[in-house]
């Protein structure tokens, strides 16, 4: 979610230390085939190896702060050293022991369970309503689906997807009990790769109280709401409740890598991506950037050597995980970002590092600094547009970086008859997240127009308007799922389609959209002007075009 959800006034955040100030765990990334040298470098630097993953080429090491990172990073076998929060404990091994020990740590399953608000008034049985393609109760609020032809008159009549196609939501979690999620939620394959932290090392509230044993939420919980909204846009079922997603027949897999506080740190992201590849997931949606750096610069002179090594580790580690997932059949979709920045010509990053709170500083940057994963190789990155198809004011852009555009909402878009929050994107919301955010009162009544309540037979559920490139990319993920369902071949227990083929089809079925006639867009609300460069076939605002579910549902392969 970091950097991908637009709010009126972002709250200060706290999370992992940008570079640990004391002893802690580090991910030491080594050059191909040089694990043993990296292990020796860890020992020589005064640290100890505690785990490893040969798939992505890193060692988990315990060492004493930035000085340790700099010593290890000086070894030619090492390409990055990134601080990592310690999640468990493991015995230290010498390099000689690690030479014969298993290198890949197992991916441990999360115990199955139910979650969410268990009060009868908060539950709606998805089996109680059959629904039809004639339109869901909240379909009238879904300008975004009508724009891309995902509705009763469009793609729903042609192709809705199938549960043989799995879409992974790498996010803050998914409320698997929500009635507009439950029918398509794959609980057995869902995983949670983070542990809640009630407070940060400075004693400030981070994730809030622990609700479950060992502070690890079950794999069907979303205390933030962001991931549930994303999941609904992708695949909310047609069931007579609420709304429907782009691909209302697909399987939804929660692959949680984000904390309740909205932070996405490196190790959980690596675990989520490798799991997606191993579990047979077809498409993943990534509406986040990897914390704590908005832009990762390998050699920015404003950064310390330890900070440079940390950013190099993030770039290297995530790229390796993306490559692994893609090689295992996963199509990678990412939100482009909400910094209102031309990513081809970035000038300033004043939001990094995002942790600890108050450590942000202004850095002069250039195009060698990248947002991860949006600017990583093999990723399809999506910009956001409003209801008039104008590029959203907050959306990042860039001729090299923008691959596709999709509805993300824009409350400042006056080129439409819609008013206020109706210009944003509606999606499912967990009741207890809304309660925690004080968006509903004690009786369950919405306290803001951004929340919609729908009740059936005395049971109520909730949907919420949000905007951001986080809301745009799941539209593309849903269209990708339709393409896999139509053209995929049997494999891994379901259907599979090479990511390169999915990408080609996505671009071919998108609707080319030219830059504004003036070549730029002026945003009176922010007093900014964004320049669009490129042709109708490929430009910095819309990439290859606006995704189109109907064209994907009817195209010939």
Sequence-distant (≥ 6) Cβ neighbours of residue 295 within 8 angstroms: 346, 349, 352, 363, 365, 369, 370, 371
Read off the tokens for 463. Answer: 């949907």
CB 543, CB 149: distance < 8 Å: no
Give, rounded to a whole angstrom, the gap between the first and last alpha carbons of the chain.
34
Respond yes or no: is residue 25 known to be catalytic: no
Read off the tokens for 255. Answer: 């692959």
Q: Give me Rg for the CA atoms of the chain.
A: 22
Kindly report each contact of residues 127-131 with a partner whose C-beta sits within 8 Å and lies 24 or more positions away, as own/partner: 127/183, 128/456, 128/457, 129/239, 129/240, 129/241, 129/456, 130/239, 130/240, 131/237, 131/238, 131/239, 131/240, 131/241
Q: Annotated catalytic residue: which of 178, 226, 328, 544? A: 226
> How long is the chain?
557
Read off the tokens for 410. Answer: 């824009």
In which element (H, E) is residue 464 found?
strand 459-466
Helix axes 65-73, 35-44, angle to 10 degrees: 140
Q: Annotated catalytic residue: which of 25, 53, 171, 217? A: 171
- Residue indicated by tokens 């039809």: 132
Give the separation between CA 537 and CA 232, rounded to whole angstroms: 30
CB 169, CB 255: distance < 8 Å: yes
Distances in whole angstroms, Cα of residue 157 to Cα of each of 248, 443, 546, 548? 11, 39, 21, 14
Q: Annotated catalytic residue: which of 450, 470, 473, 475? A: 470
DSSP string, 497-523: --HHHHHHHHHHHSB--PPPTTSEEEE
Read off the tokens for 269. Answer: 């992201």
CB 253, CB 189: distance < 8 Å: yes
Give the separation between CA 489 and CA 261, rounded to whole angstroms: 39
Helix, coil or strand: residue 81:
strand
Read off the tokens for 77. Answer: 């076998």
Give the Cα-Cα-Cα angle 314, 316, 321 (nearest 5 degrees).
Answer: 90
Respond yes or no: is residue 381 known to be catalytic: no
Respond yes or no: is residue 470 known to be catalytic: yes
Q: Is 422 buried (19+), middle (13-18) or exposed (0-12) by CB count in 10 A?
A: middle
Q: Which residues are catalytic?
A: 171, 226, 470
């Amino acid at each position: 979610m970091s950097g991908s959800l637009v709010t009126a006034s972002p709250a200060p955040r706290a999370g992992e230390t940008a570079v640990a100030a004391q002893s802690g765990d580090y991910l030491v990334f080594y050059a191909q085939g040089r694990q043993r040298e990296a292990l020796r470098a860890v020992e020589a630097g005064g640290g100890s190896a505690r785990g490893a993953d040969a798939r992505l080429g890193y060692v988990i090491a315990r060492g004493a702060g930035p000085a340790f990172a700099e010593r290890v990073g000086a070894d030619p076998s090492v390409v990055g050293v990134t601080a990592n929060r310690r999640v468990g404990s493991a015995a230290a091994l010498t390099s000689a022991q690690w030479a014969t020990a298993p290198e890949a740590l197992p991916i441990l399953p999360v115990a199955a369970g139910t979650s969410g608000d268990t009060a009868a008034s908060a539950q709606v049985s998805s089996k109680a309503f059959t629904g039809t393609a004639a339109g869901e109760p909240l379909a009238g609020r879904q300008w975004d689906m009508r724009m891309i032809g995902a509705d009763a008159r469009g793609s729903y009549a042609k192709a809705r997807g199938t549960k043989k196609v799995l879409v992974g939501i790498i996010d803050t979690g998914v409320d698997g009990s929500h009635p507009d999620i439950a029918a398509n939620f794959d609980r057995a394959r869902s995983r949670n790769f983070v542990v809640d932290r009630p407070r940060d090392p400075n004693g400030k509230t981070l994730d809030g109280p622990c609700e479950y044993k060992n502070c690890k939420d079950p794999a069907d919980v979303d205390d933030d709401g962001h991931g549930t909204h994303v999941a609904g846009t992708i695949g909310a079922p047609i069931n007579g409740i609420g709304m429907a997603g782009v691909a209302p027949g697909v399987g939804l897999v929660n692959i949680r890598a984000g904390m309740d506080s909205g932070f996405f740190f490196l190790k959980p992201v690596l675990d989520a991506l490798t799991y997606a590849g191993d579990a047979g997931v077809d498409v993943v949606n990534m509406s986040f950037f990897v914390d704590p750096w908005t832009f990762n610069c390998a050699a920015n002179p404003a950064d310390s050597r330890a900070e440079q090594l940390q950013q190099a580790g993030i770039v290297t580690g995530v790229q390796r995980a993306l490559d692994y997932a893609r090689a295992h059949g996963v199509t990678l979709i990412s939100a482009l970002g909400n910094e209102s920045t031309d990513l081809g010509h970035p000038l300033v990053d004043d939001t990094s590092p995002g942790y600890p709170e108050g450590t942000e500083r202004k850095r002069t940057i250039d195009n060698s600094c990248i947002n991860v994963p949006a600017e990583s190789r093999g990723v399809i990155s999506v910009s956001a547009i409003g209801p008039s198809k104008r590029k959203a004011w907050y959306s990042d852009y860039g001729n090299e970086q923008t691959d596709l555009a999709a509805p993300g909402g824009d409350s400042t878009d006056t080129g439409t008859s819609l008013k206020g929050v109706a210009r944003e994107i509606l999606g499912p919301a967990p009741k207890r997240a809304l309660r925690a955010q004080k968006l509903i009162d004690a009786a369950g009544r919405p306290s803001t127009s951004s929340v919609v309540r729908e009740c059936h037979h005395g049971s109520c559920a909730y949907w919420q308007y949000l905007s951001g490139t986080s809301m745009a990319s799941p539209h593309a993920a849903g269209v990708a799922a339709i393409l896999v369902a139509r053209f995929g071949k049997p494999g891994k227990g379901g259907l599979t389609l090479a990511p390169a083929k999915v990408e080609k089809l996505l671009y071919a079925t998108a609707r080319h959209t030219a830059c504004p006639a003036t070549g730029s867009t002026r945003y009176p609300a922010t007093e900014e002007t964004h320049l669009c460069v490129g042709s109708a076939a490929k430009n910095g605002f819309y990439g290859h075009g606006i995704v189109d579910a109907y064209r994907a549902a009817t195209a010939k392969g």
